[in-house]
Amino acid sequence: MRTIVARCVPALIATTALFAAVGIAHAAEPVPPRSAGCPASVPTDAQCYTGRDTEGALYWIAIPAQWNRVLVMHSHGGPETGAPTLERGAEDLKRWSVMVKAGYAWAGSTYRRGGYGVTMAAEDTERLRKIFIARFGQPRRTILHGQSYGGGVAAKGAELYGPVAGATPGAPSELQPAYDGVLLTSGVLGGGGNAYEFRLDLRVVYQYVCRNHPRPDETQYPLWMGLPLDSKMHRADLAARVKECTGVGLPAAQRSPEQAAHLKTILSVVKVPERTLLSHLQWGTSLFQDLTQKRLGGRNPFGNAKVVYSGSDDDAALNAGVLRYEADPQAVGALAEDSRPTGRLRLPVLTLHAIHDPTAFVELESTYRDIVASAGASQWLVQTFADEAEHSYLSDAEYPALMTALLDWIDKGDKPSPQKVAALCSQYEAGFGTGCHLQPDYRPPPLSWRVPALGR
């Protein structure tokens, strides 16, 4: 895969600043934490709070009746391109209510705006941590938990707000780490270049096969743009085009031979599961529109000019016919500056990833592992894997097992093995339900197994 290096030039600095731009002209007045009814699935004896920070980000906080004095700061997935809402925050709290059930306080920011911005989201999460401390006091331990896109946010936050080189227990408070450990689940890891480049591959291969996104009689645009800013296309419109070409959305028996052949070619070349083909195309449409035009000033961070595609019935014709694009070096650098971790860890990081994750491919864990190893920090990383095929949420019992293993590492210096996490999960099944699927011996292949690397 291509190595992404940020370039510190004035134009790049100006471009990078776009990632942190507030999405509204004037942020509303901040609202301190105030009592709110807890979402369904949160323990009934917990206390919940909502508010708005100084940058306009909304947030939820939940504190169990028997709080163990450990706070979980949650960085959510996405990113959505619309405006943040309390309803979205409530959905996050409902999904991760297992943390509250296990005795942990939970706090999650909606981020200050929709759209891409990893460093911005890490800043918003850190701002909420300070709000929590001001209102409820200093926890005994604070764990940063990132899910999906939030995994990339938390990986960045671990480096921005983790221990400072040379800091000691008696150092000034500003040198003390914000977080004691990090939990990354289903993480979009390795930076936006590594994580999203395959969606350009999907766009060009899909267009080569289907020629309906855009159609020949519609405005033509470089596919890395996602969509022109003035486009009114919605997900339902895209779904109709995908169904028209591939039959996705129809039972397999109802697809025409041409549709079946189209689908086989796309899935064989790009290696995405059928059930998330539409979702990946949607991200390669609406999120690319946000990323390239609103955050990168109309510049392209993804390139496929020399990529060699394979897996079709006629690879020579495919490679001769797909649209080709050169990445803009400033856009590549700006995206890396915003989202790519350095790997210079100084605190415990524990990960969990479904082996058959259809959205954030498990191979991203190999990319993150290699980044950390290159920085000489492998001693701070433990990765675990589950024989599951979901992305947004895995088995209930796995999460308290991960938290216990991470806290033992922090408190006792007991660095967990994947085998220990699996054993802990089995112990937690009695209280959280059966369903431990951890595979301690699994090691994911490199990202190049799934994403074409030849020519990058």
- Strand, helix or coil at 92? helix
Token pair 């990986």 in the structure block, residue: 155
HSE (side-chain half, CA atoms, 13 Å) at 43: 18
3-state secondary structure 333-376: HHHHHHHCCCCCCCCCEEEEEECCCCCCCCHHHHHHHHHHHHCC
Q: List phi, psi (to 5°) of 116.
A: -75, 145
Q: One-letter amino acid identity for 370?
A: D
What's the order of all strands across the beta sheet hosting 141-147? 31-36, 47-52, 58-63, 105-109, 70-75, 141-147, 181-185, 349-354, 381-386
Strands 47-52 and 58-63: antiparallel
pLDDT at 27: 61
Chain centre to alpha carbon of residue 219? 32
- Cβ partners under 8 Å of residue 253, min gap 6: none
Tally helices (H) and strands (E) across the chain. Answer: 15, 9
Q: Taking a C-beta distance cutoff of 8 angstroms, is the pair 290, 264 a contact?
A: no
Dist CA 30 CA 74 (whole Å): 20
- Strand, helix or coil at 165? coil
pLDDT at 456: 81
Domains recognised in the chain with CATH numbers: 10-191+340-449 (3.40.50.1820), 195-326 (no CATH)
Q: Taking a C-beta distance cutoff of 8 angstroms, is the pair 205, 318 a contact?
A: yes
Dist CA 109 CA 125 (whole Å): 6
Chain centre to alpha carbon of residue 299? 22
pLDDT at 256: 98
Q: List phi, psi (to 5°) of 337.
A: -60, -40
pLDDT at 28: 75
Dist CA 447 CA 360 (whole Å): 11
**Cis ω for the linkage preceding 452 (within 30 of 0):** no
pLDDT at 18: 55
The model scores a pTM over 0.85: yes
Question: What is the chain's alpha carbon radius of gyration, rounded to the nearest angstrom?
Answer: 22
Instruction: Kindly give the confidence (pLDDT) of every residue in the chain, 456 residues in length, as a single tens digit, with 9 standing for 90 and above.
Output: 443 333 333 334 444 455 665 444 446 799 999 999 999 999 999 999 999 999 999 999 999 999 999 999 999 999 988 899 999 999 999 999 999 999 999 999 999 999 999 999 999 999 999 999 999 999 999 999 999 999 999 999 999 998 765 455 555 555 678 999 999 999 999 999 999 999 999 999 999 999 999 999 999 999 999 999 999 899 999 999 999 999 999 999 999 999 999 999 999 999 999 999 999 999 999 999 999 999 999 999 999 999 999 999 999 999 999 999 999 999 999 999 999 999 999 999 999 999 999 999 999 999 999 999 999 999 999 999 999 999 999 999 999 999 999 999 999 999 999 999 999 999 999 999 999 999 999 999 999 999 988 778
Token pair 């290096």 in the structure block, residue: 5
- Strand, helix or coil at 211? coil
Q: Taking a C-beta distance cutoff of 8 angstroms, is the pair 28, 52 a contact?
A: yes
Kindly tell me the burial class for residue 118, based on how many C-beta atoms sit within 10 Å of its own C-beta (0-12, 13-18, 19 or more).
buried
Written as six digits, the tokens of 250 are 């129809």
- Cβ partners under 8 Å of residue 62, min gap 6: 38, 42, 46, 47, 48, 49, 93, 97, 100, 105, 106, 107
Kindly tell me the burial class for residue 346, based on how many C-beta atoms sit within 10 Å of its own C-beta (0-12, 13-18, 19 or more).
middle
Dist CA 156 CA 1 (whole Å): 21
